[in-house]
Amino acid sequence: MDRRCADLESSLKQLGKAELKEFKVKLNKYKPQGGFQPVLWSELESADALDIVRVLRGHFLEPYALQVAANIMALINKKELESTLWQAHGKTGRGLVQGQQRGSDPPPGQLAGRPGNMGVLGRGADGPEQGQGKGLRG
């Protein structure tokens, strides 16, 4: 596990039980941009911190997974953990781009990752081409 994933897992482990549930609820309701598919509740219901890291990496490319997690930390008012994730992402402050509000995705075309996480579940040659605009479940 690389440092960014370790930072993500560590941030999630700092959440209390109720906060982790709130994070999962917000993640389930989160509407990602760029062709990525939303995360299903069935993937989150019994998930612990490490499971959530795996789910985020399975749905989104790693840089975008960190953005999503940081945005959700903002939504649940965990500003210190949000800042930690933006720093892990390599951004300073809240990592916002022009025209972006706290707790939201950057404008289209400014995503850190591209849709279509190839190779996570063995998709690739027989799955959609990378960058086609379809997420893992597309």
pLDDT range class, residue 104, cuts 50, 70, 90: low
Report the SS3 class of residue 94.
coil
pLDDT per position as a tens digit, 85-97: 998 877 654 444 3
Quick check: 128 and 134 in contact, CB under 8 A? Answer: yes
Domains in the chain and their CATH numbers? 3-89 (1.10.533.10)
- Report yes or no: 130 and 137 within 8 Å, Cβ to Cβ: no
Please, what sign has the CA dihedral across residues 60, 78, 82, 50?
negative
pLDDT at 1: 55
* Model pLDDT for residues 5-39, shown as the tens digit of each residue: 888 999 999 999 999 999 999 999 999 988 899 99
Query: pLDDT grade, residue 69 (50/70/90)?
Result: very high
Kindly give, in sequence order, each residue whose CB lies less than 8 Å from that of residue 37, ignoring residues fewer than 6 positions away.
59, 134, 135, 136, 137, 138
pTM of the entire predicted model? 0.66
